[in-house]
Structure 1
Amino acid sequence: MFDVYGGYLRQRGGAATIAALVKLLEPLGFAAPAVRTAVSRTVRQGWLRPVRLPGGPGYALTARAEVRLDEAAARIYRTRPSTWDGRWHVVVLEELPPRPARDRLTSSLHLLGYGELGPATWVAPRPSPELADLLAAEKVAARTFHGEHDGDDTELAARAWDLAGLGRDYASFVREWEPRVSGVDAASPPAAFAASQQMLHAWRNFLFRDPGLPPQLLPEQWAGRRAAKFFDHNTERLSGAANRFVESCLTNQSKQ
């Protein structure tokens, strides 16, 4: 659901009727009851809000969701400038929250691009605009600042993130998805949409592990570069047909 909104609906006003959502998710194997359940859960989590659209009842992105999706898109498609001024954004928690909240916080900090140097210390190559809201939501106090590392930055990056494991998984991504998408005929809009969305969903999982480090901090022959080129090429190859499918779903539902 989040990938459909981020990949297609965000650039089309960020809203769709429930009927259009059902139609959009059909090629992915989701029946109408599952779509409605997912929508309800996403509303409860604060990512969607009910709206009345010309075609009937629908759901629009909340402001919080728009920020999250815009940040995710910048990292998925690497639209940010790759320059780095040599300083890290450092987050030092004043105290650790209880275990359930700590697990949520850890997962969210990873998603925002922070790597863990210790139980209470996190670093990122750039600050996240969502950090303050995340800390407030979890009721966690922290000190944040920019600072240069008095040492080898590549060693710091390797400590904060498992770059070796990440590189292996990028290589596995290409091996797994190359045969899966190469056989998709871009002349079939539903098939192109389904393949593109499934690939995007798999690629999006890397957001929890890859902060988008500047090139000088990455290992030589970084597998992430080839994986990104592969993802970009196939996303572009399928985009025309996938967008035609999305437009047909939204247009047909608006006429009902």
Structure 2
Amino acid sequence: MTGQDAWGALAHGRPALTDSNIVRARSALFDVYGSYLRARGGSAAIAALVRLLEPLGFEPPAIRTAVSRMVRQDWLRPVRLTDGPGYALTKRAERRLDDAAARIYRTRPSTWDGRWHVLALEELPTRGARDRLDSSLRLIGYGPLGPTTWVAPRPSAELADILAAERVAGRLFHGEHVGDDTELAARAWDLDTLGANYAEFVTEWLPIVSAVDGSQPAEAFAASQRLLHAWRKFLFRDPGLPEKVLPRDWAGTAAAEFFDEHTARLAPAAESFLSECLTRGTRTRSSA
């Protein structure tokens, strides 16, 4: 099942309150907070969150359960807003979303000083910790050179927190590679497969997003969020390597342009829907 198939199944049905639906709701909440709410103060009433995720097919119980999990995991914190109880991003969540946004929308400076950030673990973690560490390191842009050695094109502000969470010690180095940087990048990341996946992304999503003209705000919001969700998966696999170490005619460049074009095209209608969802509760209270 493709990513679009999974989202379509949610949008056209009424899913039961299963763990997989809660996980998907949690992921959708990260997308909404990162792409819209972070720039608007990082908080929203729970009623607004329910309204925002409705076009994506999520029922209120799944959304509320996902929010509760995010509170326990220190991604959200309860707050009292003018339109009722709500949830704001924690500092940890702000750091994670800011880093993700910089890579999703490529807002970092494009220059690279030629140095790599290297993490050398002092010992191999246990299996469970190793799997979690692997996922977390890939998400913040590190690729493996060996069981205990990871490399990234730039340091991450989240690295210390990730190592501390898994109680893992490591040594950090920042320096130039004596050798071919292109070969080093190809060793740490499967760039051939990644490039093919970028091309497949455009092929799959072109007819889907092109069919949404932006005349219906809720539809535009849902389409932009589904596109973002599919694009965000590349964060686990693409560290944002400098152009000089990428293969020629890198498919990721065309894919990024495609994502930017349709995100910008759908943005006015999506923002309109967002504003409606965020202000509906306030208007209701004001008129009461």
TM-score (norm 2): 0.88
Which of 88, 91, 97 is the matching residue for 1:60? 88
2:127 is the alignment partner of 1:99:
yes
Q: Which residue of 2 aligns with 1:49?
A: 77
Q: Which residue of 1 aligns with 2:13?
A: none
Which of 181, 186, 202 is the matching residue for 1:158? 186
Q: Secondary structure at the match of 1:245?
A: helix
Which of 170, 191, 211 is the matching residue for 2:219? 191
Which of 158, 163, 174 is the matching residue for 1:146? 174
Which of 217, 222, 228 is the matching residue for 2:245? 217
Q: Secondary structure at the match of 1:96?
A: coil
Which of 136, 145, 155 is the matching residue for 1:117? 145
Which of 33, 40, 56 is the matching residue for 2:61? 33
Q: Which residue of 1 aligns with 2:19?
A: none
Q: Which residue of 1 aligns with 2:107?
A: 79
Q: Percent identity of the aligned residues?
A: 72
2:206 is the alignment partner of 1:178:
yes
User: What is the identity, as a one-letter code, of the residue corresponding to 1:14?
Assistant: G
Displacement of 1:82 in angstroms is: 1.1
Matched pairs, number: 256
Which piece of structure 1 moves more, 39-48 or 64-73?
39-48
Dislocated runs of 4+, deviation >3 Å: none
Which of 131, 149, 157 is the matching residue for 1:129? 157
Displacement of 1:254 in angstroms is: 2.2
Check conservation: 1:185, 1:191, Cα contact below 8 A: no
Displacement of 1:255 in angstroms is: 2.8
Distance 1:104 1:17 in 2: 31
Q: Which residue of 1 aligns with 2:4?
A: none
User: What is the identity, as a one-letter code, of the residue corresponding to 1:208?
Assistant: F
2:267 is the alignment partner of 1:239:
yes
Query: For residues 10-65 of structure 1, what are the alpha-carbon distances to aligned partners after superposition, in whole Å with 9 as ceiling and x for unaligned?
Result: 00110001100000000000011111111111111110011111101110000000
Q: Secondary structure at the match of 2:168?
A: coil
Distance 1:192 1:136 in 2: 40
Displacement of 1:217 in angstroms is: 0.5
Q: Secondary structure at the match of 2:36?
A: helix
Calculate the aligned-residue CA RMSD, in Å: 0.6
Gaps of 5+ in 1: none
Q: Which residue of 2 aligns with 1:230?
A: 258
Q: Secondary structure at the match of 2:130?
A: helix
Q: Secondary structure at the match of 1:151?
A: coil
Distance 1:236 1:243 in 2: 11
Distance 1:183 1:206 in 2: 23
Distance 2:118 2:38 in 1: 31
Distance 1:247 1:231 in 2: 23
User: What is the identity, as a one-letter code, of the residue corresponding to 2:157?
Assistant: P
